[in-house]
Amino acid sequence: MNKMNKDPLFLTLSQIPLKDKTVLLRADLNVPVADGKVSDTTRLQRILPTLRELANSSAKTVILSHFGRPEGRRDDKYSLRPVAKELEKIWGAPIGFVDDCIGNTASKAVKALKPGEILVLENTRFHEAETKNSSEFASEIAKLGDVYINDAFSVSHRAHASTEALARLMPRAAGRLMEEEINALESALTNPARPLAAIVGGSKISTKLELLENLVAKVDYLVLGGGMANTFLAAQGLNVAKSLIEKNMIETAKRIEDNAKKHNCEIVLPCDAVVSTKMEHGAHTDTVSVDKVPAGHMILDIGPDTVNKIDDVLSLCKTIVWNGPLGAFEFKPFDSGTNAIAHIVGDLTKENNVMSIAGGGDTVGALINSGVIDELSYVSVSGGAFLEWLEGKTLPGIEALK
């Protein structure tokens, strides 16, 4: 059963009139571009179901998006033109482009659209009013269409004009990608099948403090890796030599451990580690117990005993949420631990019907590196929005759809 369809606060594409309407579709076309060419089309591929449904409904689709950080002024380096060309290739039919998102130029281009056709408007951030969430700017955009669809969960943590103010001015609904993302996250944290484990990696506790504090109250197991695990090990009195730690977060780590105990959440830390004196490709490594890290060495990955320990924990679970790599995966061989856990999660998803959800920039990169990204239940391409949802925060773009 579609959870959003059960929630009367959210309308979906199935619940809003689309035939012959001009639809303002907020998508996320903020994709990597090098030398004028899109190097990763994942985000473009993911909006295709919404585009197909709109086209099949004889809607005229007008796409709104930001691209980069042009600081409120026109800058050709941040033009969406090359992205629109790439989307046209993927779509397989002509897609129009116009070099503004408001005014006469945009209005004429929208009026010229025929049912089923698509038009991409220029970068909304070429206007300073976009990031200021200006209602006047949103009103100018609203003149171009009849219906607002948000299919950009990845930017819905920002209260910008095209994600928040505009939604409050028009009939509105969630696109299929937005719907899919919310459903996946709801099933992971709001009403999960238990036991529930969260895997959290990355370098610093300080950047994920709210996440950790929210998760210990919600999950049964919190699996920690990466640099943040080093700080927890140091908080237990272990000498981690030259490993990255945040000395000013040691007391915080102790507090998180105490809160975890109060909520019957088991924190799972590394018991062995891959260490080296250098963080570089092909560096010489040793595998040691975490209480025997040699002087001058850094913990750069989890060891095989830790992989087995995590495997034992995850095998008990029905739901797994993952954010952050467990080692310095950018440098081989320090990607081995993350790769091993990725394969374990993929196998559990297939064989045990575990619900597995991962997200965040580094997480997606690590899963692509592991080769098992397609084996998880859902992988979010959202960065900040995914993290803020896990932190339990309210996302302005989602609230505006209610």
Catalytic residue (choose from 81, 204, 242, 393): 204
Catalytic residue (choose from 365, 384, 392, 393): 384
Told to judge if 384 belongs to the known catalytic residues of this protein, a careful annotator would answer: yes
State the greatest distance between any 2 C-alpha atoms of the chain, in Å, as a whole number: 70
DSSP one-letter code for 207: G
Catalytic residue (choose from 43, 46, 158, 172): 43
User: Within 13 A of 237's CA, how many CA atoms are on the CB side?
Assistant: 0
Told to judge if 225 belongs to the known catalytic residues of this protein, a careful annotator would answer: no
Sign (positive or negative) of CA dihedral 262, 268, 271, 277:
negative
Instruction: Tell me how far apart the alpha carbons of residues 374 and 376 are, in angstroms, rounded to a whole number.
Output: 6
Q: Tokens 């220029």 map to which residue?
A: 122
Instruction: Tell me how far apart the alpha carbons of residues 180 and 4 are, in angstroms, rounded to a whole number.
Output: 9
Told to judge if 397 belongs to the known catalytic residues of this protein, a careful annotator would answer: no
Residue type, 25: L
Torsion of CA 342, 376, 395, 10, to 10 degrees: -170
Catalytic residue (choose from 72, 96, 116, 361): 361
The phi-psi region of residue 248 (left if phi > 0; otherwise alpha if psi is between -120 and 50; otherwise beta) is alpha
Structure tokens that stand for 24 in this block? 């303002």
Active site residue ranges: 43, 204, 361, 384
